[in-house]
């Protein structure tokens, strides 16, 4: 795994995991394997990852694992250091998001070289993981769809019933596994018409920092990016969305994406809790503010394990999660090969 480490992570020692790093290579073109989903989630949300806090060895291990899988699938690296895109951050005095492992907040630095101007105790070095599959259509190949999930969580924090590791199985190891499975499916099949970028961002829990850095340093120019689909918290069914196998899309009414996916056979409905404003609370929001139609696919049912040590692999409904990933594969195929997504009147956030 050391060969996947970028310069910012060179000092991190990756401890061996208790389970194999390689998941099943079964063909998932249209079929996602439950055992593969379970194995990948068990790796990313293992206690050995120590909650994948931004800038921690656990986060480095997660990034290395994601990169190893993209390489296995035959996805092209698209970072500034192979699959890695270095993200310079510094610890700040403000508080992070709510949650026992949140701790102090962080801020983006203007450039990578600015890390040298920050005291070592405040430096926060981490990476986005980025892969790309080039489009095949002469007309559409220059257009790009970004598919993303955040690989960070909140780390180790206040113990609850003796457990201090905030594993983040649902938030958002479930989304990372989904995007990996989408990458595997697309790499195994015919090349999509549009280019597809797979973005596994860091620093979401600290203020969407990895996504903000990506937008400043995109793998493909933003004026060629026509849509963004994030996947977050799909590990449990939501009865308000239709139950097992169904997901909801934030901001469904804002663009043509929801209609495109629903009409294409994806089991997706509008966000059943618009009062929670989830559209503005995930990595899709910075894309949307840049004018790119961007939404998040989720089945979060408001469970009480959010940002708690109890967000464990054992609480994931793998049958449901696998069905949602099947839908997510179909969704990305529609975005990559179908009509271009447009904002509806009044839908683009200002």
Which tokens hold the place of 242? Answer: 């239709």
Q: What is the per-residue pLDDT for 50?
A: 96
CA distances, 49 to each of 52, 124, 168, 286 (Å): 6, 17, 10, 28
Residue 122 burial (C-beta neighbours within 10 Å; 0-12, 13-18, 19+) = middle
Residue reference for tokens 């901001």: 251
Tens digit of pLDDT for each residue in 118-175?
A: 999 999 989 999 999 999 999 999 999 999 999 999 999 999 999 999 999 999 999 9
Residues 125 and 9: beta-carbon distance below 8 Å: yes
Q: Is the dihedral of CA 312, 317, 321, 324 positive or negative?
A: negative
Average pLDDT over residues 297-301: 97
Mean pLDDT, the chain, whole residue set: 90
- Ordered by where they begin, the domains of the chain are 32-88+126-337 (3.40.630.10)
The H-or-E segment that residue 337 falls in is helix 318-337
Residues 266 and 220: beta-carbon distance below 8 Å: no
Residue reference for tokens 């035959």: 74
Tell me the C-alpha distance between 143 and 218, whole Å: 13
Which tokens hold the place of 86? Answer: 């270095």
Tens digit of pLDDT for each residue in 149-161?
A: 999 999 999 999 9
The H-or-E segment that residue 35 falls in is helix 34-44
Which tokens hold the place of 66? Answer: 């994601």
Residues 126 and 106: beta-carbon distance below 8 Å: no
Q: Which percentage of the chain shows pLDDT scores above 70?
A: 88
With the CA atoms of 268, 274, 276 and 282 taken in that order, what torsion angle do they form, in degrees rounded to the nearest 10? 50
Please determine, for residue 189, whether its predicted confidence score (pLDDT) is greater than 50: yes
Q: What is the per-residue pLDDT for 20?
A: 34
- pTM of the predicted model, to two decimals? 0.90
Tell me which of 9-23, 222-236, 262-276, 308-322 is least confident: 9-23
- Angle of CA points 34, 40, 45, to nearest 5°: 120
Which tokens hold the place of 225? Answer: 């990016």
Nearest CA-CA partner of 74 in 180, 181, 188, 175: 188
Q: What is the per-residue pLDDT for 339?
A: 97
Please determine, for residue 324, whether its predicted confidence score (pLDDT) is greater than 50: yes
């Amino acid at each position: 795994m050391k060969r996947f480490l970028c310069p910012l992570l060179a000092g991190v020692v990756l401890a061996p995991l208790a389970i194999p790093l390689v998941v099943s290579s079964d063909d998932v073109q249209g079929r996602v394997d439950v055992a593969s989903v379970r194995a990948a989630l068990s790796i990313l949300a293992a206690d050995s990852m120590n909650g994948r806090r931004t800038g921690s060895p656990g986060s480095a291990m997660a990034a290395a694992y994601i990169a190893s899988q993209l390489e296995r699938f035959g996805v092209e690296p698209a970072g500034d250091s192979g699959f890695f895109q270095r993200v310079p951050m510094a610890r700040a005095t403000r508080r992070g998001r709510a949650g026992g492992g949140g701790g102090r907040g962080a801020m983006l630095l203007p450039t990578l070289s600015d890390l040298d101007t920050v005291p070592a105790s405040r430096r926060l070095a981490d990476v986005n993981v980025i892969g790309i599959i080039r489009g095949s259509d002469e007309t559409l190949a220059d257009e790009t769809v970004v598919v993303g999930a955040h690989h960070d969580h909140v780390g180790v924090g206040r113990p609850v019933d003796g457990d201090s590791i905030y594993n983040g199985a649902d938030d958002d190891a479930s989304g990372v596994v989904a995007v990996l499975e989408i990458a595997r499916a697309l790499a195994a099949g015919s090349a999509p018409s549009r280019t597809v970028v797979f973005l596994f961002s860091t620093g979401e829990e600290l203020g969407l920092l990895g996504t903000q850095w990506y937008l400043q340093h995109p793998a493909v120019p933003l004026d060629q990016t026509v849509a963004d689909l994030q996947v977050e918290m799909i590990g449990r069914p939501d009865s308000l969305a239709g139950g097992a196998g169904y997901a909801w899309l934030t901001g469904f009414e804002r663009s043509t994406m929801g209609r495109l996916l629903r009409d294409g056979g994806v089991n997706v409905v509008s966000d059943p809790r618009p009062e929670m404003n989830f559209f503005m609370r995930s990595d899709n929001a910075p894309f949307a503010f840049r004018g790119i139609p961007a939404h998040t696919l989720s089945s979060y049912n408001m469970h009480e394990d959010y940002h708690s040590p109890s967000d464990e692999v054992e609480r994931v409904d793998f049958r449901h999660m696998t069905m949602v990933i099947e839908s997510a594969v179909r969704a990305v195929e529609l975005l990559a090969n179908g009509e271009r997504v447009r904002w509806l009147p009044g839908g683009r956030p200002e």
